[in-house]
Chains A and B, each alone.
Chain A
């Protein structure tokens, strides 16, 4: 088995590498776009306007309450029908992943802002610092220290989640595994290679985020 796995890697390593690049890039794009969308939603939720609160709660509720695979199918089937121009399958899937991720990112951002000690706001406002300056100079800089590590963890989750896109033949690591598997009939070795790559990537990323988090907190406490 081990020998076969090595031989398989020798023959098809570039397929896996290409897939990995696809996965990392897809995850990065998703997190980036989801952060923009998620920030909007977080601001709406924090704004205290009741209507916005209900809408965003419904949005987050649906996205977190249904399986992601179903959401992928949903976007893949429906989006081309309601949009007047042509959408490739991959585009539909990417949009679905972004929308789903935005619901988690919105919560990360909201939690990050609310985790900032209330005393900070009290001190700022009692100095006579305006509410917008308080947000910009006191709350957000401290919230970002909370948010960035959480966003990093979200990235790692999404790296794994993109594997669902393989159902739609989007170019990423799990799709590579399926291609190699179907071409060689070597189901288990091809699976092991993909699994090891995922493990290495997530471990490296997790360690990286921990280091980053510790450096952020050097100035805290």
Chain B
């Protein structure tokens, strides 16, 4: 009898919390003014990002507080805040939470090297592309050196384990471009996936080639390599990284696209990207 009482009490408590949360959310949407106006009137903009992706966004451990988040995307966020005449607040989150917080409308923008995927297009507004790595290497397969003869393309993965960052573009490639695999293991960050291959918990990991190369260069004797002459196909039309904006906020999206045009045509973003690639290198040993 006591247990039943306890159960129903817990259920009532949780239900009332969830309901009140839902109500609170509703009232904020009924206000009428759009997000861009709200940002300007309240004086700050909240940009969410996953700071584990050099050179776009990463952490400089020598700095503290919000100063520690640096990168080309961070510079771009500062630029946007400047142009809007507001303060910038960087919100660091795990990648999955970055995406969901924009879908929910919890934060204003996601600037986190977001690539185009159909799923994301449905869940939020994706800006136009602000960086194309035309001739730079794209996405490939990380494997252990010892398997270099055995794994040369995606067909060789038929009886292998593949690790991939959950919710990422890489996961999309794995699902669409690997015809068959023994098992797909989802991880929360690409580094975890790389470690899995290193420790023989997975045979390969779908990676951004420049990022993986940085890892291999930094870790002598890790026994890892990138499959040669192989890249995942990226739809050129849809390539490049974009800014994520909550659905329905067309005024904000328009403004962001304007600012993207500015930094692209002036070559400013490219400059930032090069600058921060160098910066990232000197943080290592």
Min CB gap B2→A, angstroms: 7
Whether A58 contacts B59 by the Cβ 8 Å rule is no
Q: Which of A10-47 contact B (CB under 8 A)?
A: 11-12, 15, 18
B5 proximity list for chain A (CB < 8 A): 54
Interface string of B48-75 (1 = CB under 8 A from A): 0001101000111110100010000000
Chain B interfacial residues counted at CB < 8 A: 38
Whether A55 contacts B284 by the Cβ 8 Å rule is no
Whether B62 contacts A62 by the Cβ 8 Å rule is no
A12 proximity list for chain B (CB < 8 A): 61-62
Min CB gap B207→A, angstroms: 12
Whether A183 contacts B285 by the Cβ 8 Å rule is no
Output the nearest chain A residue to B214 by Cβ-Cβ distance. A185
Decide yes or no: A18 and B285 within 8 Å by CB, A81-B24, A82-B24 being known contacts. no
Decide yes or no: A185 and B215 within 8 Å by CB, A4-B285, A18-B64, A78-B17 being known contacts. yes
B62 proximity list for chain A (CB < 8 A): 12, 15
Whether A58 contacts B24 by the Cβ 8 Å rule is no
A82 proximity list for chain B (CB < 8 A): 17, 20-21, 24
A179 proximity list for chain B (CB < 8 A): 59, 61, 68
What is the bound-complex CA distance between A12 and B280, given in angstroms? Answer: 15
Tell me the interface secondary structure of chain A in the complex. Answer: helix
A98 proximity list for chain B (CB < 8 A): none
B214 proximity list for chain A (CB < 8 A): 185
Whether A183 contacts B61 by the Cβ 8 Å rule is yes
What is the bound-complex CA distance between A134 and B11, given in angstroms? Answer: 39
Min CB gap B276→A, angstroms: 12
What is the bound-complex CA distance between A179 and B58, given in angstroms? Answer: 8
What is the bound-complex CA distance between A168 and B21, given in angstroms? Answer: 21
> A-B pairs with CB below 8 Å: how many?
84
B136 proximity list for chain A (CB < 8 A): none
Asked if A181 lies at the interface with its beta carbon under 8 angstroms from chain B, I say: yes
A187 proximity list for chain B (CB < 8 A): 191, 194-195, 219
Asked if A182 lies at the interface with its beta carbon under 8 angstroms from chain B, I say: yes
B64 proximity list for chain A (CB < 8 A): 18, 171
A171 proximity list for chain B (CB < 8 A): 64
Output the nearest chain A residue to B194 by Cβ-Cβ distance. A187
Min CB gap A103→B, angstroms: 13
Asked if A186 lies at the interface with its beta carbon under 8 angstroms from chain B, I say: yes
Output the nearest chain A residue to B70 by Cβ-Cβ distance. A183
Q: Which of A56-82 contact B (CB under 8 A)?
A: 57-58, 61-62, 77-78, 81-82
Whether B59 contacts A54 by the Cβ 8 Å rule is no
17 examples of A-B residue contacts, CB within 8 angstroms: A8-B285, A11-B285, A54-B5, A55-B9, A57-B2, A58-B6, A58-B10, A58-B13, A77-B21, A78-B18, A169-B93, A178-B52, A182-B54, A182-B191, A185-B284, A186-B218, A186-B284
